[in-house]
Amino acid sequence: MHQTAKDIMETSFEVLRPDQELIEAARVFLERDLSAAPVLDHRQRLVGILSEKDCMLLAIDRAFGTNPRPQAHVADLMRPDVVAVRPETSANELATIFYREQFHQLPVVDGARMVGMVRRRAVFRLIQQVLASQPRAITAQASLITHDTQDLIGPASNEAFRRAVENLS
């Protein structure tokens, strides 16, 4: 099974603008139950990402008046160094990125234009589908490695998971 980012990406997603007020962005996060959103310029190019964590300090300041700040915009707090993937990025590569990093989602870009969003949950769901479709093959492979059914609970389970991820590509 060779799945790519294009196969599992969402093509409808919430975006922010650099000139958007942070308080408005925070409202979008709460209303849409988002943890982060891509920031696109007027040409729909990905220029950054803003997380709810990035907005927390401003929200705390506004709510409790601890350190009132002047009006801030998305561009003031967004992170411009965005990790993005291409539509042809394999599911195996996606799984590896999500496993190693703290991301919940990855923007998908084609050239300079953002075309989709891959969520960690979608990749995890795909891994689960692979595991469910190959239980006997994985168990047989694990048995060859351990030769002892008592050992299948530990290292072989990790090996089976690793092989399932490899089978995504």
Q: Are residues 89 and 156 in the same domain?
A: no
pLDDT in tens, the chain (169 residues): 589 999 999 999 999 999 999 889 989 999 999 889 999 999 889 999 999 888 887 777 777 776 656 678 999 999 999 999 999 999 999 999 999 988 899 999 998 889 999 999 999 999 888 888 876 555 555 444 444 434 444 444 555 555 665 665 5
The answer to whether the CB of 14 falls within 8 A of the CB of 37 is: yes
The answer to whether the CB of 68 falls within 8 A of the CB of 61 is: yes
Question: Count of domains in the chain?
Answer: 2
Taking the CB of residue 125, how many other CB atoms lie within 10 A of it?
A: 12
- Kindly write down the DSSP assignment for every residue of 42-105, as one continuous string: TTSBEEEEEEHHHHHHHHHHHHH-SS-----BHHHH-BS----B-TT-BHHHHHHHHHHS--SE
Q: Are residues 121 and 141 in the same domain?
A: no
- What CATH number corresponds to the domain at position 17? 3.10.580.10
Residue 80: domain span: 5-125
Q: Are residues 35 and 61 in the same domain?
A: yes
Angle CA 157–160–164, to nearest 5? 140
Record the tokens describing residue 153, joined without a space: 């609970």
Q: Are residues 13 and 55 in the same domain?
A: yes
Q: Are residues 15 and 70 in the same domain?
A: yes
